[in-house]
Amino acid sequence: MDKVIGILNGMEYTIGDSILELSYLIAALLFVYGLKLLSHPATARTGNLWAAGGMGLGMLTTLLLHKDAGGNGIPLTNVWIILAAIGVGSAIGWIIARKVKMTAMPQLVSIYNATGGAASMLVALLEYPNAVAGDIQSILVTVLGLIIGAIAFSGSMIAFAKLDGRVGDIMKPFMTYINLVLLIVTIGIGVYIIISPNQPSEMVWAIYALLVISLVYGVMFVMPIGGADMPVVISLLNSLTGIAAAMAGFIYNNQAMILGGILVGAAGMILTMLMCKAMNRSLINVIVGAFGGGGAAGATGVEGSIKEIQLSDAAVLLSYSQKVVVIPGYGLAVAQAQHIAHELDALLESKGVEVKYAIHPVAGRMPGHMNVLLAEADVPYEQLVEMDDINPDMPNVDVAIVIGANDVVNPAAYDDPSSPIYGMPIIDAHLAKNIIIMKRGMGKGYAGIENFLFFNDKTRMLFGDAKASISKLVSEIKSM
């Protein structure tokens, strides 16, 4: 028999309750510590393990010690169902993690965001009928959990479909007004449910109407946003998923869920704002402006001509350089060239060349995409240098190798006020003494605009698949 050790708010408090609450506190501390370790690539893997340990602790103690209002634990049948669901989910997650390609990592993150939002949405949907009429606080968190979870779910699914090339962009001026109407209707129905004196069982129709409107708004909210803004959108949706999880925690008065959700929501929002800063744009401008993919502004001020470079010339140039900076982009991920790129930098370093990788905050299709990609290839973390740290040294760089990056090195951000990326901080590849750009062809970047860097007098184009080109370049350097 669990010993009663006190009374709180008129309810008996047992040793088991104390241990459960303490485990939630420890889980929250593990979340914080894991999040801290995620701030650096060298410790990110360990951070994930600590955070997962916190989640495991919270789940285990809940299964063993949770009691309902009557003092009864979780029925054994439910425990087995929960364990079976955890087992199946873990197996599916393990298989996906082992098989997913790095190019599909942004899509996977979107799917994970969607499942988190869906879970919070379903919790709110199922728990609303159990709320008490007039309990504003309980109904408020339930309604917010439903709205935010539904938006995170449907929005993340559209983000997945867009990143996977299954859905295009709808970038029409009227979309802003449609979204504004949907948002007002969503808020209106939510307020009506919260202040209604009717019993929740009588308001089921309203909660389902709110669910549908919220799902539609999530779709319409993400649909106009395309191109270079997708990393910001993914981060924002991740933040929404965390906030929705926190709302679910309030519904169940579960401290671990509340703290975990708040941490995810806050971290996601901070990352979103940092990336907006890296693009020199406000969050409202990202959501409403629908930048990227539309090709709004052309490069009317481009001067110069495209010049190619032969593999043998590139090999000589790199071999006799002192400083080389590799600037990766989504094209590196598409070509799966991260391993051969690491082989190239190791080969150059064996010849006494200093090689660094310049990482732009929004390079790729999700936050930290290039860091993850290069970490997979075992590139030393010390070689990964953020944009703000590498830019002051770019004039001293002998060769800047641009592999699959486009908009994040486009000098139009400095030179063309009519460009949609004007004012966006970029990696100053144009300041290097020599520039080699590896591309399949002359296609525009994700923002849909011409790249001024292609026409720079110091630029030489090395056309072809990045993986094949770098492989040939490695062979050429070895034969010298």
* CA distance linking residue 221 with residue 151, whole number of Å: 8
H or E, element range at 248: helix 230-252
* CA distance linking residue 78 with residue 435, whole number of Å: 62
Q: Which of 17, 229, 407, 428 is catalytic?
A: 407
Q: Exposure pattern of 216-243 as b/e (b: 16+ CB <10 Å)?
A: bbbbbbbbbbbbbbbbbbbbbbbbbbbb
* CA distance linking residue 412 with residue 302, whole number of Å: 9
H or E, element range at 294: none
* CA distance linking residue 189 with residue 139, whole number of Å: 13
Q: Nearest-CA neighbor of 395 among 363, 432, 426, 423?
A: 432
Residue 479 neighbours by CB under 8 Å, 6+ apart: none
Query: Within 10 Å of residue 213's Cβ, how many Cβ atoms?
Result: 20
Residue 22 neighbours by CB under 8 Å, 6+ apart: none
* CA distance linking residue 427 with residue 187, whole number of Å: 41
Q: Catalytic residue at 407?
A: yes
* CA distance linking residue 440 with residue 466, whole number of Å: 7
Token pair in block for residue 94: 């393990």
Determine the residue type at 326.
V
Catalytic residue IDs: 407
